[in-house]
Amino acid sequence: MANQQRTRSSGPCIWMQAGVVKTKMCHQAFDCTGCRFDRVLRHLAEENRNRSASGSTVSGRRGRIEYWADKLKGLPAHRRPCLHHLKRRIGFRACTNDYLCSNCEFDQYFQDQYAVHAVLKPVDMEDVQGIKIPQGVYLHRGHAWVGMASGGQVRIGLDAFAARLLGPLDRIDLPLMGKPLTQGRIGIRMNRGTLNTGLAAPVSGVVTAFNPKIKEAPTTLPADPYGNGWLLMVQPDNLREDLRTLEMGTEATAFIKSEIAQLVRGIEARIGPLAADGGTLSDDILGQLPPNCWEEMARQFLRTDMAQVEIKTG
Protein backbone atom coordinates (compact mmCIF):
# COMPACT_ATOMS: atom_id res chain seq x y z
CA MET A 1 0.00 0.00 0.00
CA ALA A 2 2.81 2.42 0.91
CA ASN A 3 4.55 1.81 -2.44
CA GLN A 4 1.28 2.36 -4.29
CA GLN A 5 0.84 5.69 -2.53
CA ARG A 6 4.34 6.77 -3.50
CA THR A 7 3.78 6.03 -7.20
CA ARG A 8 0.36 7.62 -7.48
CA SER A 9 0.61 10.92 -9.35
CA SER A 10 -0.29 14.13 -7.51
CA GLY A 11 -0.34 16.10 -10.77
CA PRO A 12 2.23 17.97 -12.86
CA CYS A 13 5.47 18.76 -11.04
CA ILE A 14 5.98 22.42 -10.12
CA TRP A 15 8.99 22.57 -12.48
CA MET A 16 6.72 21.38 -15.31
CA GLN A 17 3.97 23.87 -14.43
CA ALA A 18 6.54 26.67 -14.50
CA GLY A 19 7.70 25.57 -17.96
CA VAL A 20 11.26 24.68 -16.91
CA VAL A 21 10.86 21.04 -18.02
CA LYS A 22 8.51 19.66 -20.63
CA THR A 23 7.12 16.59 -18.85
CA LYS A 24 7.39 15.57 -15.21
CA MET A 25 4.64 14.30 -12.91
CA CYS A 26 4.82 14.56 -9.12
CA HIS A 27 4.60 11.28 -7.21
CA GLN A 28 5.29 12.68 -3.72
CA ALA A 29 2.17 14.72 -2.95
CA PHE A 30 4.19 17.89 -3.69
CA ASP A 31 6.55 17.20 -0.78
CA CYS A 32 9.51 18.84 -2.52
CA THR A 33 11.74 18.56 0.57
CA GLY A 34 12.35 14.86 0.04
CA CYS A 35 12.32 14.92 -3.79
CA ARG A 36 15.59 14.03 -5.53
CA PHE A 37 14.39 15.57 -8.81
CA ASP A 38 13.76 18.90 -7.05
CA ARG A 39 17.22 18.82 -5.44
CA VAL A 40 18.96 18.12 -8.76
CA LEU A 41 17.14 20.90 -10.62
CA ARG A 42 17.73 23.39 -7.81
CA HIS A 43 21.43 22.57 -7.99
CA LEU A 44 21.51 23.02 -11.77
CA ALA A 45 19.57 26.28 -11.54
CA GLU A 46 22.01 27.62 -8.95
CA GLU A 47 24.98 26.63 -11.13
CA ASN A 48 23.47 28.39 -14.15
CA ARG A 49 22.69 31.48 -12.08
CA ASN A 50 26.29 31.67 -10.85
CA ARG A 51 27.69 31.16 -14.37
CA SER A 52 25.42 33.87 -15.74
CA ALA A 53 26.58 36.29 -13.03
CA SER A 54 30.20 35.62 -13.98
CA GLY A 55 29.52 36.08 -17.70
CA SER A 56 29.77 32.42 -18.74
CA THR A 57 27.01 30.12 -19.97
CA VAL A 58 26.34 26.44 -20.68
CA SER A 59 24.77 25.47 -23.98
CA GLY A 60 21.99 22.95 -24.50
CA ARG A 61 19.08 21.89 -22.29
CA ARG A 62 21.19 21.88 -19.13
CA GLY A 63 22.03 25.54 -19.60
CA ARG A 64 18.35 26.47 -19.89
CA ILE A 65 17.47 25.18 -16.43
CA GLU A 66 16.43 28.02 -14.14
CA TYR A 67 14.72 28.03 -10.77
CA TRP A 68 10.97 27.52 -11.20
CA ALA A 69 10.17 30.68 -9.21
CA ASP A 70 12.51 32.78 -11.39
CA LYS A 71 10.80 31.38 -14.46
CA LEU A 72 7.35 32.33 -13.15
CA LYS A 73 8.54 35.82 -12.25
CA GLY A 74 8.72 36.44 -15.99
CA LEU A 75 4.92 36.41 -16.11
CA PRO A 76 2.82 39.51 -15.46
CA ALA A 77 2.25 39.92 -11.71
CA HIS A 78 -1.44 39.04 -11.88
CA ARG A 79 -0.65 35.74 -13.64
CA ARG A 80 2.01 34.43 -11.24
CA PRO A 81 0.39 31.47 -9.44
CA CYS A 82 0.74 31.12 -5.69
CA LEU A 83 2.75 28.08 -4.57
CA HIS A 84 -0.32 26.62 -2.88
CA HIS A 85 -2.17 26.76 -6.21
CA LEU A 86 0.75 24.99 -7.90
CA LYS A 87 0.47 22.28 -5.24
CA ARG A 88 -3.27 21.84 -6.00
CA ARG A 89 -4.41 23.04 -2.57
CA ILE A 90 -6.39 26.13 -3.61
CA GLY A 91 -7.89 27.63 -6.73
CA PHE A 92 -5.90 30.22 -8.63
CA ARG A 93 -4.40 32.97 -6.52
CA ALA A 94 -1.67 35.30 -7.69
CA CYS A 95 1.59 35.37 -5.73
CA THR A 96 1.98 38.81 -4.15
CA ASN A 97 5.31 38.26 -2.39
CA ASP A 98 7.79 37.35 -5.14
CA TYR A 99 7.70 33.67 -4.04
CA LEU A 100 9.21 34.53 -0.66
CA CYS A 101 6.82 32.29 1.27
CA SER A 102 8.67 32.57 4.60
CA ASN A 103 7.46 36.16 5.13
CA CYS A 104 4.17 35.98 3.21
CA GLU A 105 1.05 36.83 5.24
CA PHE A 106 -1.14 34.58 3.12
CA ASP A 107 1.26 31.65 3.50
CA GLN A 108 1.14 32.11 7.27
CA TYR A 109 -2.67 32.22 7.14
CA PHE A 110 -2.71 29.13 4.95
CA GLN A 111 -0.41 27.22 7.32
CA ASP A 112 -2.71 28.13 10.21
CA GLN A 113 -5.82 26.98 8.34
CA TYR A 114 -4.49 24.06 6.32
CA ALA A 115 -1.13 22.66 7.38
CA VAL A 116 -1.93 22.94 11.05
CA HIS A 117 -5.15 20.99 10.66
CA ALA A 118 -3.64 18.44 8.26
CA VAL A 119 -2.25 16.64 11.30
CA LEU A 120 0.44 14.04 11.01
CA LYS A 121 -0.98 10.53 10.79
CA PRO A 122 1.86 8.10 10.10
CA VAL A 123 0.96 5.00 8.12
CA ASP A 124 3.09 2.66 10.24
CA MET A 125 3.28 2.81 14.04
CA GLU A 126 5.59 0.63 16.12
CA ASP A 127 4.34 -0.16 19.63
CA VAL A 128 6.87 -0.77 22.40
CA GLN A 129 5.26 -1.29 25.82
CA GLY A 130 2.50 1.13 24.90
CA ILE A 131 4.86 3.76 23.48
CA LYS A 132 3.93 4.62 19.90
CA ILE A 133 6.84 5.13 17.51
CA PRO A 134 5.83 6.48 14.08
CA GLN A 135 7.90 5.21 11.18
CA GLY A 136 7.53 8.41 9.16
CA VAL A 137 9.22 10.90 11.47
CA TYR A 138 12.70 11.57 12.83
CA LEU A 139 13.54 11.47 16.55
CA HIS A 140 16.07 13.62 18.37
CA ARG A 141 17.83 11.98 21.33
CA GLY A 142 16.31 14.68 23.52
CA HIS A 143 12.86 13.23 22.59
CA ALA A 144 11.64 15.86 20.15
CA TRP A 145 10.30 14.58 16.83
CA VAL A 146 10.55 16.11 13.36
CA GLY A 147 8.04 15.60 10.55
CA MET A 148 8.11 17.00 7.02
CA ALA A 149 5.57 19.73 6.26
CA SER A 150 4.70 21.90 3.27
CA GLY A 151 6.92 24.56 1.75
CA GLY A 152 10.13 22.94 2.96
CA GLN A 153 9.09 23.44 6.58
CA VAL A 154 9.11 20.88 9.38
CA ARG A 155 6.73 20.24 12.26
CA ILE A 156 8.23 19.63 15.71
CA GLY A 157 6.75 18.00 18.78
CA LEU A 158 7.42 16.01 21.96
CA ASP A 159 7.59 12.25 21.36
CA ALA A 160 5.26 9.77 23.05
CA PHE A 161 7.97 8.46 25.37
CA ALA A 162 8.62 11.92 26.84
CA ALA A 163 4.90 12.74 26.94
CA ARG A 164 4.26 9.57 28.95
CA LEU A 165 7.33 10.24 31.09
CA LEU A 166 6.46 13.82 32.08
CA GLY A 167 2.74 13.35 32.54
CA PRO A 168 0.20 16.21 32.37
CA LEU A 169 1.85 19.61 31.98
CA ASP A 170 0.47 22.87 33.34
CA ARG A 171 2.23 25.17 30.90
CA ILE A 172 4.37 24.93 27.76
CA ASP A 173 6.37 28.03 26.85
CA LEU A 174 6.82 28.17 23.08
CA PRO A 175 9.12 30.59 21.23
CA LEU A 176 7.67 33.50 19.28
CA MET A 177 7.23 33.31 15.52
CA GLY A 178 10.35 34.51 13.76
CA LYS A 179 12.67 33.39 16.56
CA PRO A 180 15.71 31.27 15.61
CA LEU A 181 16.29 27.79 17.02
CA THR A 182 19.62 26.00 17.16
CA GLN A 183 19.79 22.23 17.09
CA GLY A 184 20.66 20.87 20.53
CA ARG A 185 19.79 24.08 22.37
CA ILE A 186 16.70 24.41 24.52
CA GLY A 187 13.95 26.24 22.65
CA ILE A 188 10.87 25.08 24.59
CA ARG A 189 10.11 25.09 28.32
CA MET A 190 7.63 22.69 29.96
CA ASN A 191 6.21 23.27 33.43
CA ARG A 192 4.33 21.15 35.94
CA GLY A 193 3.54 23.02 39.13
CA THR A 194 6.84 24.39 40.40
CA LEU A 195 8.78 21.86 38.32
CA ASN A 196 10.16 22.68 34.89
CA THR A 197 12.33 21.21 32.20
CA GLY A 198 13.42 22.08 28.68
CA LEU A 199 13.16 20.51 25.24
CA ALA A 200 16.15 20.81 22.94
CA ALA A 201 15.45 21.85 19.34
CA PRO A 202 15.90 18.87 16.99
CA VAL A 203 16.81 21.11 14.03
CA SER A 204 18.10 24.65 13.48
CA GLY A 205 15.84 27.18 11.82
CA VAL A 206 13.25 29.91 12.29
CA VAL A 207 9.89 29.42 14.00
CA THR A 208 7.05 30.05 11.54
CA ALA A 209 4.08 28.94 13.69
CA PHE A 210 3.17 27.44 17.04
CA ASN A 211 0.22 25.35 18.14
CA PRO A 212 -2.19 27.66 19.99
CA LYS A 213 -4.32 24.73 21.21
CA ILE A 214 -1.40 23.15 23.04
CA LYS A 215 -0.34 26.51 24.42
CA GLU A 216 -3.85 26.98 25.84
CA ALA A 217 -4.44 23.35 26.91
CA PRO A 218 -1.06 21.59 27.41
CA THR A 219 -2.69 18.66 29.24
CA THR A 220 -4.06 17.43 25.89
CA LEU A 221 -0.59 16.79 24.42
CA PRO A 222 -0.08 13.16 25.59
CA ALA A 223 -3.31 12.02 23.90
CA ASP A 224 -1.97 12.74 20.39
CA PRO A 225 1.70 13.85 20.51
CA TYR A 226 2.34 13.21 16.80
CA GLY A 227 -0.87 14.82 15.56
CA ASN A 228 -2.87 17.49 17.34
CA GLY A 229 -0.15 17.72 19.99
CA TRP A 230 2.47 19.19 17.64
CA LEU A 231 4.33 22.20 19.05
CA LEU A 232 6.10 24.25 16.36
CA MET A 233 6.45 24.75 12.62
CA VAL A 234 10.00 25.65 11.62
CA GLN A 235 11.73 26.75 8.42
CA PRO A 236 15.00 24.82 8.74
CA ASP A 237 18.42 26.30 7.98
CA ASN A 238 20.28 23.12 7.01
CA LEU A 239 17.81 20.26 7.20
CA ARG A 240 19.93 17.68 5.39
CA GLU A 241 22.78 18.00 7.87
CA ASP A 242 20.47 18.13 10.90
CA LEU A 243 18.61 14.97 9.87
CA ARG A 244 21.86 13.02 9.82
CA THR A 245 22.02 13.32 13.61
CA LEU A 246 18.44 12.09 14.16
CA GLU A 247 16.97 8.59 14.41
CA MET A 248 14.35 7.12 12.08
CA GLY A 249 12.70 3.76 11.47
CA THR A 250 14.45 0.79 13.06
CA GLU A 251 17.07 3.07 14.62
CA ALA A 252 14.34 5.11 16.33
CA THR A 253 12.67 1.92 17.58
CA ALA A 254 15.94 0.62 19.01
CA PHE A 255 16.58 3.99 20.66
CA ILE A 256 13.17 4.05 22.38
CA LYS A 257 13.59 0.44 23.55
CA SER A 258 16.92 1.32 25.15
CA GLU A 259 15.37 4.41 26.78
CA ILE A 260 12.53 2.34 28.24
CA ALA A 261 14.97 -0.19 29.67
CA GLN A 262 17.06 2.57 31.21
CA LEU A 263 13.96 4.26 32.60
CA VAL A 264 12.70 1.07 34.23
CA ARG A 265 16.08 0.44 35.86
CA GLY A 266 16.25 4.02 37.14
CA ILE A 267 12.77 4.05 38.65
CA GLU A 268 13.01 0.60 40.17
CA ALA A 269 16.23 1.68 41.87
CA ARG A 270 14.26 4.50 43.52
CA ILE A 271 10.77 3.18 44.28
CA GLY A 272 10.78 -0.53 43.51
CA PRO A 273 8.97 -2.35 40.66
CA LEU A 274 7.40 0.03 38.15
CA ALA A 275 3.63 -0.10 37.85
CA ALA A 276 2.69 -1.74 34.59
CA ASP A 277 -0.38 -3.24 32.95
CA GLY A 278 0.20 -6.18 30.65
CA GLY A 279 3.71 -5.05 29.78
CA THR A 280 2.60 -1.48 29.06
CA LEU A 281 4.23 1.42 30.83
CA SER A 282 1.85 3.30 33.10
CA ASP A 283 0.77 6.88 32.39
CA ASP A 284 2.45 9.78 34.20
CA ILE A 285 5.59 7.80 35.03
CA LEU A 286 7.42 10.61 36.80
CA GLY A 287 4.29 11.51 38.76
CA GLN A 288 5.12 8.50 40.91
CA LEU A 289 8.39 10.10 41.99
CA PRO A 290 9.32 12.81 44.48
CA PRO A 291 9.75 16.27 42.87
CA ASN A 292 13.56 16.17 42.96
CA CYS A 293 13.49 12.84 41.09
CA TRP A 294 11.10 14.27 38.48
CA GLU A 295 13.50 17.06 37.55
CA GLU A 296 16.54 14.78 37.73
CA MET A 297 15.09 12.18 35.35
CA ALA A 298 13.56 14.81 33.08
CA ARG A 299 17.03 16.31 32.63
CA GLN A 300 18.51 12.84 32.10
CA PHE A 301 16.15 11.71 29.34
CA LEU A 302 15.61 15.08 27.65
CA ARG A 303 19.41 15.60 27.65
CA THR A 304 19.03 19.16 28.91
CA ASP A 305 22.28 19.04 30.88
CA MET A 306 24.07 19.12 27.53
CA ALA A 307 21.86 21.85 26.03
CA GLN A 308 22.02 25.62 26.34
CA VAL A 309 18.92 27.74 26.79
CA GLU A 310 17.77 29.66 23.73
CA ILE A 311 14.17 30.81 24.14
CA LYS A 312 12.10 33.98 24.23
CA THR A 313 8.43 33.28 24.66
CA GLY A 314 5.35 35.36 24.42
pLDDT digits (tens, 9 = 90+) for 121-154: 554 678 888 888 887 789 999 999 998 887 678 9
pLDDT at 114 over 80: no
Comparison of pLDDT for 298 and 42, the residue scoring more = 42
- Mean pLDDT confidence for 166-184: 92
State the average pLDDT for the chain: 83
Distance CA 9, CA 26 (A): 6
| pLDDT: which is higher, 275 or 71 | 71
Q: What DSSP line would sit under 36-104, residue for residue?
A: HHHHHHHHHHHHHHHHHHTT----HHHHT---HHHHHTTS-GGG-B-HHHHTTSSS--B-SSTT-GGG-
CATH numbers and ranges of domains, the chain: 2-99 (no CATH), 121-314 (2.40.50.100)
Q: Give the pLDDT mean for 64-72.
A: 93
Is the per-residue pLDDT at 107 higher than 90? Answer: no
The confidence score (pLDDT) of residue 279 equals 47
Give the separation between CA 246 and CA 94, rounded to whole angstroms: 38
Amino acid found at 219: T
Cα–Cα distance between 215 and 221 in angstroms, integer? 10
> Looking at residues 67-74, what average pLDDT do you find?
94
Summarised one tens digit per residue, pLDDT across range 19-33 is: 999 999 998 778 787
| pLDDT for the residue numbered 5 | 38
Per-residue pLDDT at 308 exceeds 70: no
Helix/strand/coil for 205: strand
- The reported pLDDT for the residue numbered 14 is 95
Average pLDDT score over residue span 283-309:
75
What would the mean pLDDT of 98-114 be, rounded to a whole number?
A: 74
Question: Which one has a higher pLDDT value, 266 or 123?
Answer: 266
What pTM was computed for the model? 0.61
Please check the confidence at residue 7 and state whether its pLDDT lies above 50.
Answer: no
**pLDDT tens string 225-265:** 998 899 999 999 988 899 999 998 889 999 999 999 998 88
> In angstroms, how far is the first alpha carbon of the chain from the final one?
43
- Position 84 scores a pLDDT of 87
Q: Could you tell me the CA-to-CA distances from 228 to 134, 158, 248 in Å, in that order?
A: 14, 11, 21
